[in-house]
Amino acid sequence: MEVVPVTHGSTNQFATKPARRRRPLQRRSHRFALVAGTVGQIYAGYKGIQLVEKLLGAERVRWMYRRQHAASAQAIYRTAVRLEGLLIKACQFLGTRADLLPHEYIETLSQLHDRVPPRSFDSVLAPLVEKELGKPLREVFADWDPSPLASASLAQVHRARLRDGREVVIKVQYPEIAQLVEADLANLRFLFGVLARLERNLDLRIVLREIQRHVPLELDFQNEARNADRIRQNLSDRTDVLVPRVVWELTTRRVLVLEYLEGIKITHVQELDRAGIDRNAVARLLTDVFCQQILRDGFFHADPHPGNILVQPGPRIVLLDFGLAKALPSGFQIGLAQLAGAILTQNRVAAAEAFRTLGFRTKNDNPETLIALGDAFLGHVARSGKAYADRELVEMIRDNIVQVLRENPLVDVPSDILLVLRVMGLLSGIGKQLHAHIDLLQVMLPHVVGTSP
Main-chain phi, psi angles of 118, to 5 degrees:
-80, 165
Q: What is the 3-state secondary structure (H, E, C) of the chain?
A: CCECEEEECCEEEECCCCCCCCCCCCCHHHHHHHHHHHHHHHHHHHHHHHHHHHHHCCHHHHHHHHHHHHHHHHHHHHHHHHHCCHHHHHHHHHCCCCCCCCHHHHHHHHHHHCCCCCCCHHHHHHHHHHHHHCCCHHHHEEEECCCCCEECCCEEEEEEEECCCCEEEEEEECCCHHHHHHHHHHHHHHHHHHHHHHCCCCCCHHHHHHHHHHHHHHCCHHHHHHHHHHHHHHCCCCCCEECCCECHHHCCCCEEEEECCCCEECCCHHHHHHCCCCHHHHHHHHHHHHHHHHHHHCEEECCCCHHHEEEECCCEEEECCCCCEEECCCCHHHHHHHHHHHHHCCCHHHHHHHHHHHCCEECCCCHHHHHHHHHHHHHHHHHHCECCCCHHHHHHHHHHHHHHHHHCCEEECCCCHHHHHHHHHHHHHHHHHHCCECCHHHHHHHHHCCCCC
Given 303, 365, 390, 416, which residue is catalytic? 303
Per the CB < 8 A criterion, the answer to whether 430 and 319 are in contact is: no
**Amino acid, single-letter form, for residue 237:** D
Q: Is 114 a catalytic residue?
A: no
Q: Is the peptide bond before 315 cis (omega within 30 degrees of 0)?
A: yes
Per the CB < 8 A criterion, the answer to whether 237 and 331 are in contact is: no
Calpha distance 34→28 (Å, rounded): 10
Q: How many CB atoms lie within 10 A of CB 74?
A: 14
Active site residues: 303
